[in-house]
């Protein structure tokens, strides 16, 4: 069991703080989507109360992960920065209630637990922040995208042969 399991409600009530660095290789679900499992993720949590009185966790996750560019198929470093405010509810029903009462897109309401694995939250957040279609801003090498340019006309081919 992870060493980062906390009573999430108590963590918020006592304004708990936790932070650390964890090798990317330990996040098994995340690794499935990565081209290479090197590096680590830095993370931090701050427990507290939402202005409305609900327990909340403020989470930061950052690090560099390796993805494969979908345009040129080369590896590239994706720097990951995620910030989330999680409001804790005691159960699904109260989560729905808090969701509509707070009505804030920047907040995620989750069902808290007395044995909540902080690293699982880190992994969820990292997964959510991965680009759906990773690619370089500008590819450094030749592009190998599957969709080919339209085929060269036979005349152009002849012209190239002559020159
Ligand atoms: Zn590329």
Predicted pLDDT of residue 1: 43
How far is ligand 1, taken at its centre, from the CA of residue 43, in Å?
A: 28
**Among the listed residues 125, 57, 121, the one whose alpha carbon sits nearest the alpha carbon of residue 87:** 57
Predicted pLDDT of residue 123: 96
**Among the listed residues 117, 109, 118, the one whose alpha carbon sits nearest the alpha carbon of residue 19:** 118
d(CA 66, CA 39): 9
Element (H, E) at 162: helix 154-162
Predicted pLDDT of residue 9: 97
How far is ligand 1, taken at its centre, from the CA of residue 138, in Å?
A: 7
How far is ligand 1, taken at its centre, from the CA of residue 153, in Å?
A: 27
pLDDT along the chain (163 residues), means of 10: 84 97 95 91 98 97 94 92 96 97 95 96 95 91 64 62 60
How far is ligand 1, taken at its centre, from the CA of residue 142, in Å?
A: 8
How far is ligand 1, taken at its centre, from the CA of residue 139, in Å?
A: 4
How far is ligand 1, taken at its centre, from the CA of residue 140, in Å?
A: 6
How far is ligand 1, taken at its centre, from the CA of residue 77, in Å?
A: 11
**Among the listed residues 63, 71, 111, the one whose alpha carbon sits nearest the alpha carbon of residue 89:** 111
**Among the listed residues 67, 22, 65, 26, the one whose alpha carbon sits nearest the alpha carbon of residue 43:** 22
How far is ligand 1, taken at its centre, from the CA of residue 97, in Å?
A: 44
* Burial class of residue 11 (count of CB atoms within 10 Å of its CB; 0-12, 13-18, 19+): buried
Note whether 44 and 119 are within 8 A (CB).
no
**Among the listed residues 82, 71, 80, the one whose alpha carbon sits nearest the alpha carbon of residue 137:** 71
What's this model's pTM, rounded to 2 decimal places? Answer: 0.82
How far is ligand 1, taken at its centre, from the CA of residue 133, in Å?
A: 11
Q: Which two tokens stand for residue 141?
A: 């090498």
Helices (H), 76-153: 92-102, 118-128
Q: What is the DSSP string of 50-80?
A: -TTS-EEEEEEEEEEEEEE-TTT--EEEEEE
């Amino acid at each position: 069991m992870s060493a980062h399991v906390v009573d999430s409600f108590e963590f918020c009530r006592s304004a708990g703080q936790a932070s650390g660095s964890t090798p990317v290789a330990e996040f098994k679900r995340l690794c499935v989507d990565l081209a290479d499992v090197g590096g680590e993720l830095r993370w931090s949590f701050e427990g507290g109360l939402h202005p409305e009185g609900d327990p909340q966790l403020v989470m930061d996750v950052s690090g560099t992960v390796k993805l494969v560019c979908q345009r040129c198929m080369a590896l590239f470093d994706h720097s990951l920065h995620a910030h989330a405010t999680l409001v804790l509810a005691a159960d699904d029903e109260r989560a729905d209630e808090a969701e509509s009462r707070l009505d804030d897109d920047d907040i995620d309401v989750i069902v808290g637990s007395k044995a909540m694995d902080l690293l699982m939250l880190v992994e969820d957040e990292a997964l959510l922040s991965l680009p759906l279609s990773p690619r370089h801003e500008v590819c450094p090498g030749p592009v190998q995208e599957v969709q080919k340019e339209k085929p060269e006309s036979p005349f152009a081919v002849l012209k190239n042969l002559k020159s």
